[in-house]
Amino acid sequence: MEETYIDSLDPEKLLQCPYDKNHQIRACRFPYHLIKCRKNHPDVANKLATCPFNARHQVPRTEISHHISSCDDKSCIEQDIVNQTRNLGQETLAESTWQCPPCDEDWDKDLWEQTSTPFVWGTANYCGKNSPASNIVMEHKSNLASGMRVPKSLPYVLPWKNNA
- pLDDT tens readout for residues 67-107: 988 888 888 877 777 777 777 655 555 677 888 888 888 88
Q: Per the domain annotation, does 25 fall within a domain?
A: yes
Evaluate whether residue 34 is within a structural domain. yes
What is residue 2's predicted lDDT score, i.e. its pLDDT?
47
pLDDT value at position 105?
84
Percent of the chain residues topping a pLDDT of 90: 30
Does 40 map to a domain? yes
Contact partners, residue 51, CB within 8 Å, separation at least 6: 57, 58, 59, 64, 67, 68, 71, 73
Q: Does some domain include residue 62?
A: yes
Distances in Å between the Cα of 42 and the Cα atoms of 36, 57, 138 are 11, 17, 72
Q: Report the amino acid identity of residue 3.
A: E
Q: Is residue 70 part of a domain?
A: yes
pLDDT value for 1: 42
CA 154 to the chain's CA centroid: 42
Of residues 4 and 22, more confidently modeled: 22
Average pLDDT, the chain: 76
Q: Which of 60-64, 66-70, 142-146 has the lowest mean pLDDT?
A: 142-146
139 occurs within a structural domain: no
Number of domains in the chain: 1
Boundaries of domain holding 53: 14-75
